[in-house]
Amino acid sequence: MANPIITLEHVTRTFRVKRETIKAVDDVSLDIHEGEIVCLVGESGCGKTTTGKMLAGVLPISAGKILYRGKDIARLSGRDHKQFRLGVQMIHQDPYASLNPAHTIAAIIAAPLQHHGLTRGEAQTQARVRELLALVDLTPPDDFLEKFPHQLSGGQRQRVSIARALTVNPSFIVADEAVSMVDVSIRISLLNTLTKLKTAMGLGVLFITHDLALAKYFAWEGRVGVMYLGRLVELAPARQLVEQPQHPYTQVLLSAIPEADPEITRHKRRIELRSMDVPSLLRLPTGCAFHPRCPQFLGATCERDVPELLAAHGARVACHLVSRQ
């Protein structure tokens, strides 16, 4: 396979909380290739956003290394640094907070084009703005140019923030809960737009969501990484993760997804956790952090040793129970 566009090597991020140090992201290693979709899933607070922000270069790491096209992002300078800054763009959960309410949609999209000298002259800028709006399915573009963010629906605003991210011709997008704020009815059409862009532009995407059903839909051709309390616990091609989940936590998450057919959902066996309480990062359980809730808890090994993310049947899994054959 071609060289990875993004590489995370043992990346850790700590924060000071109540005079103590928490590991929001702990020893995460991951390669993402050109044009690939990787989805990060897991419960609230497991470190998804922190991982995405570090990868996009907007949050420094505490330990480890992040490489962009093979180069350490902490050491980039000059042209390489600019290429990384423009090449990796982040789309946030709440487009309302990130779009200037005083500017028209045309001005919001035109600003980065002009700032980075990507278009020459007013006519070319306007033409590119229209093209980008059409690309994110805001059509006809003329209906949106003179509108302000508050005059659009949540889904339309999110499309504007995607168009703005595309102004600088990125090769990689971090989409953090990019469809979580919009109504369920328009979620799929927004996901379809993202999929279309990915294919048309060869974009790599890190898609962050707490909803495994969404991950399954969006990343079906890609890979899914499951996080638990700051660590990656399973990383596998999406189909494999769904059809043969290996980590007990992945199995629990999958068993909780409703199926399209309510009859199937009603009879679906939900795997019960040993405990419903999510431990605090301030007081992490020893050994495998999932052991107090794990339905397959083995005993001393799980309590004592932190499982590493190791190869297992075409996936990578951090669990003492999983066979490595």
Ligand X SMILES: Nc1ncnc2c1ncn2[C@@H]1O[C@H](COP(=O)(O)OP(=O)(O)OP(=O)(O)O)[C@@H](O)[C@H]1O
Judged by the rule CB under 6 A, the positions of this chain that interact with ligand X are 15, 17, 24, 42, 44-50, 210, 281
Per-residue mark of binding to Mg ion, 227-266 (x: CB under 5 A): ----------------------------------------
Instruction: Tell me the three state secondary structure of residue 33.
Output: strand
Answer whether 281's CB lies under 8 Å from 45's CB.
yes
On the CB side of 166, CA atoms within 13 Å amount to: 25
- Among candidate residues 58, 64, 62, the one with its CA nearest the CA of residue 30: 64
Cis peptide bond prior to 140, omega within 30° of 0: yes
User: What is the closest distance, in whole angstroms, from the C-beta atom of residue 230 to ligand X in the complex?
Assistant: 7
What would the two tokens of residue 15 be? 């924060």
Taking residues 22 to 51 in sequence order and writing x for each that binds Mg ion by CB under 5 A, - otherwise, the string is ---------------------------x--
- CA dist., res. 178 & res. 151, Å (int): 19
Q: How far is residue 315's CA from residue 298's CA, in Å, rounded to a whole number?
A: 22
Nearer to Mg ion among residue 48 and residue 130 (C-beta): 48
CB of 259 to Mg ion, least distance (A): 26
Structure letter (DSSP) for residue 179 = T
Tell me, by CB under 5 A, how many residues bind Mg ion.
1
The residue among 105 and 174 lying less far from ligand X, judged by its C-beta, is 174
Compare residues 166 and 232 and give the one whose CB is closer to ligand X: 232
**Whole-angstrom distance between the N-terminal and C-terminal Cα of the chain?**
24
Which residue lies nearer to Mg ion by CB, 178 or 302?
Answer: 178
Q: Which does 17 bind (CB under 5 to 8 A by kind): Mg ion, ligand X, none?
A: ligand X
Helices (H), 219-320: 238-243, 248-255, 262-267, 300-304
State the minimum distance, in angstroms, from the CB of residue 33 to ligand X. 23
Q: How many residues does the chain have?
A: 325
Nearer to ligand X, 49 or 167 (CB): 49
Q: Which of 92/159 has CB closer to Mg ion?
A: 92
What is the rounded distance in angstroms from the CA atom of residue 281 to the CA atom of residue 30? 22
Smallest separation, CB 45 to ligand X (Å): 4
Contact of residue 281 among ligand X, Mg ion, none (CB under 5-8 Å per partner type): ligand X
Q: How far is the CB of 159 from Mg ion (least distance, A)?
A: 21
Smallest gap from Cβ 48 to Mg ion, in A, equals 5
Does 296 interact with Mg ion (rule: CB under 5 A)?
no
45: left (phi over 0), alpha (psi -120 to 50) or beta: left
H/E segment holding residue 105: helix 105-115
Q: Which residues bind Mg ion (CB under 5 A)?
A: 49
